[in-house]
A and B are shown apart, each in its own frame.
Chain A
Amino acid sequence: MLTDRPSPVRSASEAPFYRAVGDEMEVFQAAAGGGLPVLLKGPTGCGKTRFVQAMAHELGRELITIAGHEDMTSADLVGRLLLKGGETVWVDGPLTRAVREGAICYLDEVVEARQDTIVVIHPLADHRRELALDRLGTTLPAAPGFQLVISYNPGYQSVLKNIKESTRQRFVAIELGFPPAEIEAHIVSHEAGIDAETAGTLVRLGNTIRGLDGSPLREVSSTRMLILAGALVAHGLSLRGAARSAIVHTLSDDPDVVRALGELADAVLPQT
């Protein structure tokens, strides 16, 4: 976390694959133009991270990703003083580096971080656009290209883990969902390297599970999950085996639910 060497996340040659579903790309571009912070909402595995990567590439900015965890301190974000030889040297944290260099700073799963840590981003996320470095006693104005992006999964709602209103209201929200069937089939076939027909079958299974009325599942089959199943197929596993390992058994631990899902998957997948 204390790296001071700039490491480009992705070279310009390989553009991340992202298919827009709605107007999310336009919204993001407009927000980037105004330097406005963005809050990405969406179920797990619907492509939040991929979207940010694609947008960073599109805008030609560097992307610095920070994964939120329970024990993240503000020093992990901002930076700290280190000893070098006989004196202390300030080392920028990832957030400070993004502020200095005008990169896009992506805070993944921001609710996982402690509330007091999140407060550090407040002055960056409003009209001030500056970062207070209390150890150095200075404030650092954000470079023009700097943009803050946080992601958040509204599915894991718990009383103790939610975004504070004061944090939330500083952001432009973009809601991502699962793409429509044709686009999703295209994505699965591209990502997993399987033919369009198999991808279509997997997507049909995914949509059938998502469409269950009164489902006991906490999370539905995500695009990422379908890509995983597709990758298993691409490496020689049968479609049924892949669906069982990557979808049915992943979604639930309850033997009854697993059995019922297995029946559903069997009915939707082609008979051999």
Chain B
Amino acid sequence: MDVFIQILITGATLGAMYALASVGLSLIFGTLGMFNMAHGLFMTLGAYAAYSAASALHLPLVLGFVVAMAAGGLIGVLTHLLIVRFMLGTPDFGMNIMVATAGLAIILQDLILKTYGGYPYPQPVRVDGFTQLGGVTITFQALVNVAVALALILGTAWLLMKTRFGRAIRATAMNREAAMLMGVKADTVFLQVMALAGMLAGVAGLMISTQATLSPQMGADPLLKAFVICVVAGLGNVWGAGVCAFGLALIESAIGYYFGMRFGFPTMLMLVIVILILRPQGLFGREKVVRL
């Protein structure tokens, strides 16, 4: 029973971080049709921003989250204004934007490395203490992470489903031309989506750094997992991404517990390949009818 609870808690903590990362990634893909290779660096940037703010100003926890969110949102907006805007609608956009964002990723990583150095820091924006449930230790940090992630995801869902702003995003994702004909300003929607996804990524980064340490490469591993989650859910399917994040995190933590941490991700990936062979459009993706 203890083992079960332990796996459940580890899975939920991981799942909360993966969900935040992959919901943003999926949102960007669904709306702009672009795969953001720099998403991992958006996370890293959020974490470092919170670190800087906390070590300079001794911010309380809540403000740390706000700073991480702001930093992530800012880099999302800048990416759109400086790179994506010029490439939308060009031929081979899907491939070229991946190259461009990969380039951006290495620029940002290099800048972080040069500013902060490669030495891993502990994240000062954190909560200490733990509680016991049965024989299992639960840190308050894990509880806070899960709570914040759930709140943010529900908030995003509310934004997407219940507001005018969300309706514009969904309309653009469904059919860009039709939405524009109905008077939706696609450019504004793209900017908002990049900001929103950046904010989610920033917070995800802060959470990841509370569980491990800050380092310029910290975003690489979560990014890989977010990719896998988005592919399994079906690219652009925001709901599916959230659900798959928790599901895959649970499987990963179970495998990690029974076979050792290093096999968690590889097993997850094998599972994903099997899923994709059976359902190439992803678990939640609808089969697309291709018209020639």
The finding on whether chains A and B are genuine partners in a shared complex, rather than unrelated, reads: no
* Interface set of A (CB-CB < 8 Å, partner B): none
* Interface set of B (CB-CB < 8 Å, partner A): none
